[in-house]
Amino acid sequence: MSIIAAPLKDETALGLKEAREPSSRVMRFGADEPLHLDAGATLSPFEIAYETYGELNADKSNAIYVCHALTGDQHVASRHPVTGKPGWWSSIIGPGKPVDTNRFFVVCANVIGSCMGSTGPASIDPASGRPYALDLPVLTIPDMVRAQAMLIDRLGIDQLFAVIGGSMGGMQALQWAVAYPERVFSVLPVATGARHSSQNIAFHEVGRQAVMADPEWRGGRYIEAGTRPHKGLAVARMAAHVTYLSEAALHRKFGRNLQDRDRFGFGFEADFQIESYLRHQGTTFVDRFDANAYLYLTRAMDYFDIAAEHGGRLAEAFRGTQSRFCLVSFSSDWLFPTAESRAVVHALNAVAASVSFVEIATDKGHDAFLLDEPEFFAAMDGFIRSAAKARGLK
Amino acid sequence: MSIIAAPLKDETALGLKEAREPSSRVMRFGADEPLHLDAGATLSPFEIAYETYGELNADKSNAIYVCHALTGDQHVASRHPVTGKPGWWSSIIGPGKPVDTNRFFVVCANVIGSCMGSTGPASIDPASGRPYALDLPVLTIPDMVRAQAMLIDRLGIDQLFAVIGGSMGGMQALQWAVAYPERVFSVLPVATGARHSSQNIAFHEVGRQAVMADPEWRGGRYIEAGTRPHKGLAVARMAAHVTYLSEAALHRKFGRNLQDRDRFGFGFEADFQIESYLRHQGTTFVDRFDANAYLYLTRAMDYFDIAAEHGGRLAEAFRGTQSRFCLVSFSSDWLFPTAESRAVVHALNAVAASVSFVEIATDKGHDAFLLDEPEFFAAMDGFIRSAAKARGLK
């Protein structure tokens, strides 16, 4: 009987590469610059780990801020220090690519609450001298973006040429447009929505319960206990991963194909290729991600609802915006279906904002925003070129 | 911090009402009547717990066999002995109802591999004197139906007037039609398919891993250890439950409504009503279901693929059938979407079988087959009346 725990490495090694080793540049905000949180508390001091690509021009008008998704990080266009894999959007960002680093200065920071160098639940709480764990206040998407604006201030940038992000990154892009309309010339929210749906909250809750059901979670204090809730986090990742794909893509890639066999094993090993694939997704994830960070970031997504702050009227959130918007959805994405993007487009239309919208036909589901989708790349390239021209960028 | 384990009762009470208390009639099959399993082994002795409603007529032509779904049982039209709730299809089955027990003799048995009195992984293995746990051979839908046919033999019934079932029960109904075409006058597979899709296998695998990740699962030997993998099973149930609903139904029922609060709690308690609902689904399930049975029955569904036994040609499985079919799907069911029922209808058409098909417009998702759906009841009523007339039943 092989269960997901079996392939884990030596438990004493714990798998998780500690996030606090500085693999990126880190911006530190001291006691004089607290981050004010929606929960009512302040976070201070705090740190933001970030990467940049390309050069900031003389008038600081060519900066593009990239917001990462739930389990992403700042290594958007450079090798990941833990997995060794290329940056998660290196197909889009780089010299000569749609986000051309020969033209633009690209900034991507690990969101607060995460685990790749920015302050999160695994960071040391100065009040106690031990990891925050659940003593870190619950964070929101607006909190993340507020921290990003402080980073941009430090970098001396008044206005971003563009904010781009997919999924949770798209939520941040929308939040930038709402919270700092004068600071974003253009906004590209991809595969996202203005609020998290009931179904999405439900799947996140399943994942959180899987983590918290693992006795090694220890009320969140696993780091001090020298352990990790690997099994629970792997189950959470597996459940989430199914929602990132489409039924059609699963059928095409795996169907009912069996694993190394031409007949059923009549046991509980991974008989089907899809089972083996999911187990792999679960076991590799725990090596690079912190379980409490997973709780915090899923919670931030669940809380996200732009309209709620504006009496339920989404259009009000965008009133007066001068930014140019380009929304992208993927036809087989059932986590953030096209209707969610359309709702944003309608709200932007209602306030006469400049908005483009494209639904990319694909069977790859929500994951499509991270995959090779030439039509998506072309749409992004076209929008950015046009916006750059309008902004007077060379 | 309340996690799903918190509301559980005294751990020494274990919650699970032992299935082996005879709450139903039980048919026993001794060493002379082994059940031959697809895995190659035999199961012997074995027991089938069943309920009946109505009276068998003189020529034994009015019997309707009802097949239950994954977590259902034989209490289809009578109070559940553990939960105290009405039978799971008491809206459909009873005096004057679409399956009218004044006219028909209704039989419903707990499937083998389950935990409500039929032989399953919690039963005592005569070879060891302890519960089978994972020593029980992995079972299939055809195995279940083979056992049902032995029960029907014992009841002296040559031909069933109808076989009816939804979801996993629909798989069994289809299997009856394929394995015993001369023994089923009519077949009503509801919200089902001729095989389990890759996506469905994926969700089942998540559930199984959640169970097996619970240290209290203990390699399946939790009963002897005096414990139960309640947390893992609750997570599995929560994940599955999301797939039984539709996005629209979740939005209508719960939306982003908060639980007993007019603002966020900024913690990991159940803030949203959907979270509280899911936790309740998880915690109540573990009181009535055995974790190993969950592994076995999900595996049986995953293995199900009628066409595979016929060179991939589904129509071949039904060639020569004289049964009358009525397939029902629900428009918002994404676990067994209408296309799965249509594939069966096309196969039946290809062999010139008698087949009706209705897609019920509803936003209730897969769960619709268990809920009040007047159009569904009317379709079933009409089909049964017509089939009864053709069969010459009064």
In this model, does residue A303 exceed pLDDT 60?
yes
Residue B273 CB neighbours (<10 A): 18
DSSP A83-142: T-PPPTTTTTEETTSSEETTT-EEEEEPPTTSSSSSS-TTSEETTTTEE-GGGSPPP-HH
A75 touches chain B (CB under 8 A): no
pLDDT tens track for A211-251: 999 999 999 999 999 999 999 999 999 999 999 999 999 99
pLDDT tens track for A173-222: 999 999 999 999 999 999 999 999 999 999 999 999 999 999 999 999 99
Output the CATH code of domain B25-195+309-390. Answer: 3.40.50.1820
Residue A365's identity, in one-letter code, is G
CA A262 vs CA A88, A257, A272, B85, B308: distances in Å: 35, 9, 11, 44, 12
Residue B36 CB neighbours (<10 A): 12
How far does CA B194 lie from the centroid of its chain? 15
Sequence-distant (6+) residues with CB within 8 A of A19 are A114, A115, A116, A117, A120, A122, A290
| Interval A90-100 mean pLDDT | 96
Residue A335 to residue A200: CA distance in whole angstroms: 7
In this model, does residue A18 exceed pLDDT 50?
no
Establish whether B167 is a catalytic residue.
yes
How far does CA B215 lie from the centroid of its chain? 27
In this model, does residue A19 exceed pLDDT 60?
no
In this model, does residue A259 exceed pLDDT 70?
yes
* Mean pLDDT rounded to a whole number for chain A: 93
Residue A364 to residue A333: CA distance in whole angstroms: 7
Output the CATH code of domain A200-299. Answer: 1.10.1740.110
Residue B291, pLDDT score: 98
A140 to chain B: nearest residue by CA? B266
pLDDT tens track for B299-351: 999 999 999 989 999 999 999 999 999 999 999 999 999 999 999 999 999 99
Contact A198 B250 (CB under 8 A): yes
From the CA of B9, how many Å to the nearest CA of chain A?
Answer: 16
DSSP state of B392: T
Residue A288 to residue A281: CA distance in whole angstroms: 11
Strand partners, B305: B195
Note the CATH architecture for domain A25-196+309-391.
Answer: 3-Layer(aba) Sandwich (3.40)
Q: Look-up: residue for tokens 């049986």?
A: B300
In this model, does residue B15 exceed pLDDT 80?
no
Among partner residues A1, A199, A213, which is closest to B235 by beta-carbon distance?
Answer: A213
Share of chain B above pLDDT 70, in %: 94
B210 touches chain A (CB under 8 A): yes
Sequence-distant (6+) residues with CB within 8 A of A210 are A232, A233, A235, A236, A239, B210, B213, B235
| Interval A300-322 mean pLDDT | 96
Residue A394, pLDDT score: 80
pLDDT tens track for A106-129: 999 999 999 999 999 999 999 999
Residue B82, pLDDT score: 87
Q: Is A371 helix (H, G, I), strand (E, B) or coil?
A: coil
Q: Is B43 helix (H, G, I), strand (E, B) or coil?
A: strand
In this model, does residue A52 exceed pLDDT 70?
yes
| Interval B245-270 mean pLDDT | 91
Which residues numbered 313-332 in B keep a CB inside 8 Å of some CB on A?
Answer: none
Strand partners, A325: A187, A355
Per-residue confidence at A9, pLDDT binned at 50, 70, 90? very low
DSSP state of A63: E
Residue B263, pLDDT score: 85
Per-residue confidence at B42, pLDDT binned at 50, 70, 90? very high
Q: Which of A85, A2, A15 is nearest to A285 (CA)?
A: A15
For an interface test with B, the pick among A8, A11, A209 (most B C-beta atoms closer than 10 Å) comes out as: A209
Residue A117, pLDDT score: 96
In this model, does residue B245 exceed pLDDT 70?
yes
Which residues numbered 252-281 in B keep a CB inside 8 Å of some CB on A?
Answer: 253-256, 264, 266-268, 270-272, 274-275, 278-279
Selection from A8-12, A22-26, B350-354 with the highest mean pLDDT: B350-354
Residue B264 to residue A356: CA distance in whole angstroms: 33
- Tell me which chain B residues have a C-beta less than 8 angstroms from the C-beta of A278: 202, 205-206, 209
Which residues numbered 373-392 in B keep a CB inside 8 Å of some CB on A?
Answer: none
Sequence-distant (6+) residues with CB within 8 A of B13 are none
- Alpha carbons within 13 angstroms on the beta-carbon side of residue B334 total 18
At B32, give phi and psi (nearest 5°): -80, -5
Residue A68 to residue B374: CA distance in whole angstroms: 47
Residue A249, pLDDT score: 94
Q: Look-up: residue for tokens 């048995």?
A: B109
Per-residue confidence at A22, pLDDT binned at 50, 70, 90? low
| Interval A51-79 mean pLDDT | 97
Residue B133 to residue B121: CA distance in whole angstroms: 5
Which tokens in the block code for residue B43? 């199961």
In this model, does residue A5 exceed pLDDT 90?
no
Give CA angle at A34 (A104, A82), nearest 5°: 55
Please state whether the peptide bond connecting residue B374 to the residue before it is cis, i.e. omega within 30 degrees of 0: no
Q: Which of A199, A105, A202, A112 is nearest to A160 (CA)?
A: A105
B126 touches chain A (CB under 8 A): no
Among partner residues B1, B198, B203, which is closest to A134 by beta-carbon distance?
Answer: B1
Residue B22, pLDDT score: 53
* Mean pLDDT rounded to a whole number for chain B: 93
DSSP state of A34: P
List chain A domain ranges. Answer: 25-196+309-391, 200-299
Residue B25, pLDDT score: 96
Per-residue confidence at B232, pLDDT binned at 50, 70, 90? very high
Beta strand pairing status for A105-109 and A46-53? antiparallel
Residue B174, pLDDT score: 98
The answer to whether B23 touches B47, Cβ cutoff 8 Å, is no
Which tokens in the block code for residue A170? 């798209």
| Interval B1-10 mean pLDDT | 35
